[in-house]
Amino acid sequence: MYSEADLQSAVGAGALSHEAAEAFRAHAAGMRTAPVADEEHFRLITGFNDIFVTIAAVLLLVACAGIGEAIAPGVAGVLVAAAAWGLAEFFTAKRRMALPSIVLLLAFVGGVAAVPINYLAETNADLGEQARVLIAAGIGALAAGAAWLHWRRFMVPITVAAGAAAVAATVIALVLSVAMGGRIDHDPEPVLLPLIFVCGLAVFAFAMRWDMSDRARETRRSDVAFWLHLLAAPMIAHPLFHWLGVTGGENIGAAAAIGVLAIYVLMGVVALAVDRRALLVSALAYVLIAMTWLFDRFGMVELNVAVTGLVIGSALLALSAFWTPIRSALVQRLPGELRGLLPQGAVLAA
């Protein structure tokens, strides 16, 4: 079996012409009756060796962390980051193994961020609340810099999302620091949730910029957009459903439940238009809570969870089965300028 990443690599190496790759994609898409762009490919595992190497790498990184902890505060993060970079030189730069590359990227960025965190925790520094928030902003900036360095060397698609998350954390921490004004008793929630929501929209817009640069989804840029959408989705969904009161669980009311379903339908329309399923997955837990509450109020006390699973599961399976024709019908109704920015699958099928 050959993946989309293998085709891209073959074209880049000159082993296969771009026209031949396009013909193969069209043939495979015709057999699946779905355009290539609508398949939303991303590379994760190419074989069991990916899992084998990942397990071994995790064991090594854990060992490095343990040894570093025994030496001095902050050394654990240095050893983990150094080991992750060294392993990436072989398994990412030379072997191009997807899952180990993701784990090593997260270990490198996490190791760099862990150095000041571990040092401050071990030294028991007496810091004020505002100072802690400013330090958190600095750690976020440090992690973003580490992600940028890793991207420049290895270009693992998830790296951009890791950097975006670090930048978002830095911005949120800086704004919180100003909003709190040094007050320990200040509740950050009224500021924190809107900040997360705005940052989520910004990450979504950044993801769309990557998506629009590869509408046929044939290059690494599409993989970068995938991880950015996966990051943006919960940042957008959680504040919305929290404001509706869904995160309170038992406090949900009929209006909130209907609001959840309405927002989920809207997210579904957006997901169809941009051909990214991350929004639907990130909001799924909130919809399950709302639907369970509704069926419980309709008298299905014992079967409310089962009926909720039946309804939502059937709806999502039907949407998956008919994703391409539904998306095609939706995209046809959008303005021409907007259609020209969206992934090509449904546009070509129209």
Q: Which residues contact 183 (CB under 8 A, 6 or more apart)?
A: 129
H or E element in which residue 327 lies: helix 323-332
Neighbours of 194 (CB within 10 A): 13
Q: Is 288 exposed, middle or buried (0-12, 13-18, 19+ CB in 10 A)?
A: middle
Lowest-confidence segment of 215-224, 299-308, 334-343 by average pLDDT:
299-308
Q: Is 186 exposed, middle or buried (0-12, 13-18, 19+ CB in 10 A)?
A: middle
Q: Quick one: average pLDDT of 70-82?
A: 93
Name the residue among 153, 275, 169 with its Cα closest to residue 214. Answer: 275
Name the residue among 161, 143, 148, 156 with its Cα closest to residue 228. Answer: 161
Q: With a cut of 80, say whether residue 74 has pLDDT above it.
A: yes
pLDDT of residue 96: 85
pLDDT of residue 344: 73
Q: Quick one: average pLDDT of 111-126?
A: 83
pLDDT of residue 285: 82
Lowest-confidence segment of 10-14, 58-62, 92-96 by average pLDDT:
10-14
pLDDT of residue 199: 96
Helix (H, G, I), strand (E, B) or coil at 145: helix
pTM, two decimals, is 0.82
Percentage with pLDDT > 90 across the chain:
37
Q: Quick one: average pLDDT of 293-306?
A: 70
pLDDT of residue 68: 93
pLDDT of residue 139: 93
Phi, psi (degrees; rounded to nearest 5) at 72: -170, 160
- The token pair at 55 is 């397990």
pLDDT bucket at 3, cuts 50 / 70 / 90: low
Q: How far is Cα 14 from Cα 78, in angstroms, rounded to an integer?
A: 39
What are the tens digits of pLDDT across the range 228-244? Answer: 999 999 999 889 888 88
- Enumerate the domain spans of the chain: 34-126, 127-236, 244-350
Contact indicator for 323, 35 with CB cutoff of 8 Å: no
pLDDT of residue 147: 96
pLDDT of residue 63: 97
Percentage with pLDDT > 70 across the chain:
80
Name the residue among 224, 237, 211 with its Cα closest to residue 38. Answer: 211
Lowest-confidence segment of 85-89, 169-173, 284-288 by average pLDDT:
284-288
pLDDT of residue 348: 46
Name the residue among 144, 139, 183 with its Cα closest to residue 161. Answer: 144
Name the residue among 265, 264, 283, 268 with its Cα closest to residue 323. Answer: 268
Angle value at C-alpha 98, between 93 and 102, nearest 5 degrees: 90
pLDDT of residue 314: 92
Lowest-confidence segment of 30-44, 155-169, 302-316 by average pLDDT:
30-44
Q: How far is Cα 273 from Cα 224, in angstroms, rounded to an integer?
A: 18
Q: How far is Cα 238 from Cα 282, in angstroms, rounded to an integer?
A: 8
pLDDT of residue 101: 93
- Looking at per-residue pLDDT, the higher value among 187 and 105 belongs to 105
pLDDT bucket at 209, cuts 50 / 70 / 90: very high
pLDDT bucket at 186, cuts 50 / 70 / 90: low
Neighbours of 319 (CB within 10 A): 16
Q: How far is Cα 325 from Cα 15, in angstroms, rounded to an integer?
A: 34
What are the tens digits of pLDDT across the range 319-332? Answer: 888 888 898 889 88
Q: Quick one: average pLDDT of 338-350?
A: 67
For residue 143, the number of C-alpha atoms closer than 13 Å in the C-beta half-sphere is 31
pLDDT of residue 350: 45
Contact indicator for 64, 80 with CB cutoff of 8 Å: yes
Contact indicator for 124, 168 with CB cutoff of 8 Å: no
Q: How far is Cα 261 from Cα 288, in angstroms, rounded to an integer?
A: 10
What are the tens digits of pLDDT across the range 249-261? Answer: 555 677 777 888 8
pLDDT of residue 185: 53
Per the prediction, the chain carries an average pLDDT of 83
As a whole number of Å, the end-to-end CA separation of the chain is 29
